[in-house]
Structures are given as structure tokens and as C-alpha cells.
Structure 1
Amino acid sequence: MTTGDGDAGGRLFPEDLDGVDPVAAVMLADACRAISAYPELVVVGALFTAAEYVPGGWQIVCPCDPLPQGARELLSVHLADMAVSADRAEARELRAAARTLQDEPTDAVTAGERRFRIVRIEQLVRTGPDGPEPPRPTDLDPRPPAPRTGHGRRHELLPDNGPASDLATAELLCQVLDAAAATGNEPSGAFLTPIALAPAFTVAERSERRWRPVGRLHDAPQRARDSLVTYFRHVVPAVESPGDADIAQFAEAAELMEDETRRNGIAVAGRRFRIVRVERITLMGPDGPEPPRPSDFDAR
């Protein structure tokens, strides 16, 4: 089976389709189309989170933060929250680990037999002739409910033995390494196994020369759209004080974003907005995911 849609080798699927996961095959085809339509990858910076070692891998336990110290503080709070419902001995160890994170710029703590680590996540955006990549047809939209902890946070697992890299993930790794080499911010040679995380989504606005993000990250395209609707309907009139004609245009744009399913771009009052897909990758080594690099900017 051949395709001219982003499959450099002319083949997306193996000749023998027995045992092929059809969902994975469709997602791979979608990724190959994205590589063709949005061939350039731009590294847009790292985020940091915290993960706990569990059977099968490392499970993310905290939201992301742009600074390693922010991730340490979030992990400290998480450990203190865990201590509330733990038995006396475990609670003492959890609180001690939380204090260590508050007092020292450490990237790994233990509480008894439990191991926690600050994890580095690289972010990338694909771009093409028409700008940054919007959500793909195969992106979960809206994202279905996922199992949550007692603290209400969604957990994502970084497996010890991750799946073999597909074309898209391998390309992400190459771009991450190229960008790191260009800036002198290269990872240790111990961390070279890429694990692709679920993508994130944000709102970008076109300026004179480039697209720039104007909102926070969301775990589903629809949540990014909802944030844009809120911006059009409430923030623009209250904060930016445009004229009555522009207020009416922004109100109409909010209606369009709500009424048209999966709309990912809109122009209003001389401005252009787009929902943008942000790819995320972490690097794994023999002992787990990559921690912050010495060259990463930190608050301490």
C-alpha cells in the first residue's frame, strides 16, 4: 500500500496487516500527513513536572511548570497532601521529603520505598506555509474523562520499556537533539530514549511577522477553543476597550467558535487566531526520565 501523503518510504502499513492495531495505524497515517503539511519543527521550550516510580514506569503526579523550582514546589505540596491520609511512619517520611524539596534544589527524593523525580518535558510545534499546526483529526476532542487520583489530577504514565519509536517520535527526538546542540543545552548521553506524551493545545495570534501563543496550555482542543470564546466575549470588552463595532465583531466571533464544531481558526477585527497543537516529548534513560539539565534556567 503506497501513499503520497507524507510517507517518505512510500509505505505506511506493513504488507501483512494481521495483528495491526487499526487505531494506531490511523494515528500513524495522521502523523505522516502532519509531517508533510507542517514539515518544520520549532522547539518552544521545556516544561517541568514531577513523577513517581510505580510498577511499569514513572507516573506524572503534578501539573507542569515552566521552571524546575516550580515543579519542586508543586511536588512538595503533593507530598504534604499525601501525608494527610498516610499512616504515621509514612506521613513522617513524606513530610521530610517535602521539606527537602523546599530547602534544597534537589531533583529526586524518596519517602520510604517511594521514589519521586522532577522530569523535563520538551515542547515542539510543527509549522508549515500557512503557519503552526492545528489539532489533528485523531486528537481526542474533547478528551474523555480519565482516571484521577484522590487529589483530582490526571496521571500520565512514562513506561519503563517504552514502545519502539515511530516515524513522528523519532523525528521529534532528532529535532530536540539538533536544537540542544545549537544552544549548548544537550542532554546527557544516558537519556536518549524518546517517549511522546499526549499533546497539549493553546491559542496563538498572528502578529506582523509570526504567530505567538496568547493563552495557557490545555489538554484538549475544545478547552483551548473555550478559552478563546471567553477571551472574545469577556476579556476584550472589559480589558481592551475596543469600539462598539469591534465589540460586536468579537461577540459574533465567539458565537462562530461555539457553533461550528472543531473550528480551529478565525479572523476578527483585523486579527487572526488559531488553535495550535503542541507536541511534547521526554527522554528516558536506564534509571528513568530526564531531570532538569544544568543549563536550564531555574529560580534558585
Structure 2
Amino acid sequence: MKSNFVKRFWRISRWFLAFFLLLFSFRFLYGYVATDTGRASAVSDYFSGIDGLRKNYASEKRGEVFAQMQNSTPQTANTQKYEKTATVRARTGRFEDDNQRIRRKVQDAKAIIQYENAFGLKGARELHLLVGVTPESFDSFYLAMQKIGTVQSMSVIKEDKTNEYRQLNAQKASLQKTLESLVELKSKGGEISDFVSLHDKILEIESRLQDLGVQLGNFNSENEFCTVRLSLYEGAPKKDVSLLHRIKVALEWSIEYFCYSMAGFFIVILSVFILILIMDKLKVMGIINRD
């Protein structure tokens, strides 16, 4: 009988032990997931929610000769237009010093700060800069920014804009032809209402030509820049949590919630036991009443 009791005890204990290990494993793995999520949110992409930022384009001579479109210039036939954007997000405990270091690097690279936003109270300040850098200085400036504070994330994206540039030129040529035709029609006779309608159409095309001129102006050789987006967050970088600390936290949490679970389990068992006793009493009372 004693042997059967010991076997039952160990059989039940294995179930409780398995439940405890399940709690421990869950909390231990959750510690890694929660830490990674917290870090990702701390260095979210600030510039992704900003519209209307300056677009920078650069040119690169290509050995391959592209097929020329109608009215395109020979200079664009073998030149690639591209947009190159680097993003660096860093955290620093020396916000003022690193802020000055960034501005000195901007001056050394003869770059231009095209957008700036600094906000927050001391201890939790943020600095966001969009810097236009010449293509020749892009790589060195990008590497210099990686030495500011502790880098949390970085990336470089290069997009070909040659087709977009050609399409803008083609649209400009088409609008210029249309404008010339309308101006020629204006010199001919007609009713006043026709002249008014024609005048409005000419103004509309001239406005579209101005917009195209602004877009094409970004592709001009004197405006050739690459973009570096820099986000600097104040505060010491979070240190990696040690394995022993993770085990300690997971163990404390597992013991606490294991005790809660066991208390709930015994309350349920006790409630069921009391309910069974009440039902048995009611059955006995029913038998006595029938007799």
C-alpha cells in the first residue's frame, strides 16, 4: 500500500513539475521577445511619417548607351540619374557633444542641412536631420555618422530615377508644343468667349510647365546631392540583459504564478467536493421524505 501511494505521489508530482517548467519556459522566452520589441520601438523611423521632404538626385556616367527618347539631349543618353538615401539612428549619453560633432562633420563634408527638428526635455531629447551630401563625400560622411553615439540601426537605399527623369523631359516637350499651338491659335480671330477659354488653357499649361521645371531642377548638376537621414536620441544605450538575470526573473515569475494556479486549483477542487456533499445530502433527504 505504501508503494502504491509513493507511485501515485510521483505521478501527480510529474504533472505539477511539467506545469511549472511550462510557466518558466514561457516567461524566459517572453523576456527575449519583449526586449527586442522595446528596442525596435525606441528607434522607430521618424522620417517615414514626414511628407514633402526635399528629394536629392545625383548622376553617374554609364558606359552603356541608352536609347534616346524623342527630344532628349545627348547628355542624358549615357547618364544614370539616381536617388541614394542613408538612414542612421543612434542613441547617446552625450547629446550636446555629439550634436556639435555632427555639425562639424556636416561643415567638413560641405554638406547642407535641408531639414532639422529638435525637441524634448533634457534627458530625453531627440535630433532629426536631413542632410544633403555630395556624391563624392557620401560614403565618408555615412561612415562618420556611424561613429556618433551607439548606432541602433542603419541602412542605405539606392533607386534608379533615369526613367522618371526622361518622362519629365518628355512631358515638358509635349507641353511646350501644346503651348506653342495655343499661342498660335490666339493670334487668329474668334469670339471673346473662345479667347477667354484659350487664355485659361494657356495659363494652365504654363503652370504645369513651372511645376515640371521645379521637378527637373532637382536633377540639375548643380543640385546633385545624396541624402543622409540622421536621428539622434538622448539616453544611455540599453545594456544587454544577462542570462542569470533572465533566469532569476523567469524563476520568480514562475513561482508566483504557480502558487496562484495551485491555489485556484485547490479552490476549484474544494468547491466541487462541497457541491458533491450537498448533492449527496439532498439525495439522502429525498429518500427519508419518501419513506
TM-score tier by shorter-chain length is under 0.3
Higher RCO (Cα < 8 Å, 6 or more apart): 2
TM-score, scaled to structure 2: 0.24
Decide which structure has the larger Cα Rg and report it. Answer: 2
TM-score, scaled to structure 1: 0.23
